[in-house]
Homo-oligomer: A and B are copies of this chain.
Amino acid sequence: MSARKLETGIRQEQIALAALELVAGKGLNGLNMAELARQVGLVPSAIYRHYKNKDQVIDAILDLVKARLLDNILAVTAELPDLLDQLQAIMMRHLHLIHQTKGIPDIFFSEEVFQGSAARKAKAYDIIRDYLTKITELVRQGQQTGTVRADIAPDTVAIMFLGMIQSAVILWHLSEGSFDVFRHAENVWKLFSNSLLPPKIGENGK
């Protein structure tokens, strides 16, 4: 019983998607070529028609994750004008994305990425930098329009923003879901957004 022949572009996407699913909860150690092949309805060796080796499958997953994260930002900025609304919406979308695609933190904090080759780490770092650059740019615009106080470094704000999301995700992940990430998001957003507001007139800056 042979699987239907499909062109390599389609198979590559199927394989990457299946891999991202499989990684959820089990990590990359739990992703083996046999199971991955079964998931797509192929035999293990068939994977090698579409990817040179497991490393390239991992890279493909990273590309997938990158696209999803950045799409979030694009969708939000196209939709909302105000910077604070944008950041809040990005955070919520980001959390929902991870809630629904648990493989994302798993792949990011997998050993092949987090402790992988220099090239692999550089790839992950690039994704984060891309993300941060976009957030930084938004903050800068917010400063120009006066929504955000002008005396803070936009890139620092971006990293803080990412950290706020990351810590929530990590707690949620390690707690097996018992940590209420959305309730926390609400609280932490107040704290964070408040720290961005320009000082009121009459208040002493320092």
Which residues does A use to contact B, with CB under 8 Å? 25-30, 105-106, 109-111, 114-115, 118, 121-122, 124-125, 128, 152-153, 156-157, 159-160, 162-168, 170-171, 173-176, 184, 187-188, 190-192, 194-195, 200, 202-204
24 contacts between A and B (CB under 8 A): A26-B115, A29-B115, A105-B114, A109-B114, A109-B115, A110-B111, A111-B111, A114-B173, A121-B175, A121-B176, A124-B174, A125-B171, A125-B175, A128-B170, A128-B171, A156-B191, A157-B191, A159-B171, A160-B192, A163-B163, A163-B164, A167-B167, A200-B203, A200-B204
Q: Are A168 and B174 in contact (CB under 8 A)?
A: no
- A-B pairs with the 10 shortest C-beta distances? A163-B167, A27-B115, A195-B195, A163-B163, A27-B111, A125-B174, A156-B187, A109-B109, A29-B111, A109-B114
Q: Are A167 and B162 in contact (CB under 8 A)?
A: yes
Question: What residues of B have a CB within 8 angstroms of the CB of A176 in the complex?
Answer: 118, 121-122
| Stoichiometry (number of copies) | 2
Quick one: which of B30, B121, B163, B184 contacts A156, CB cutoff 8 A? Answer: B184
